[in-house]
Amino acid sequence: AEYLSSKVERARPTMMNADMDAVEAENQVELEEKTRLINQVLELQHTLEDLSARVDAVKEENLKLKSENQVLGQYIENLMSASSVFQTTDTKSKRK
């Protein structure tokens, strides 16, 4: 079928130069649009990669800070339990 259609194409008179230029210009516009879209997709992929890396870094930092907070919380608890200022006072030990 393709072979026949190409024969028919060759049998037809060739397109006028103006028509060919118009088709070429249209193809050029289409190609530029495709290129622009491809570049946009690539840029978005890079942005996504950067954001993913940033999220991972923030998660890691968050875990570190949580861990540090636990250590500090424990330390403060130990200090408070060792200090008489923070001991619960009962009526016997109150002084006037």
pLDDT digits (tens, 9 = 90+) for 42-53: 999 999 999 999
At 77 the pLDDT is 92
**What pLDDT is stored for residue 20 in this prediction?**
81
Domain spans of the chain? 9-77
**pLDDT per residue over 34-92, tens digit each?**
999 999 999 999 999 999 999 999 999 999 999 999 999 999 999 989 888 777 655 55
First-to-last C-alpha distance (Å) of the chain: 112
* Contacts of 80 by beta carbon, 8 Å cutoff, 6+ apart: 86
Closest CA to 36 of 46, 48, 28: 28
Q: Is residue 10 scored above 70 in pLDDT?
A: no
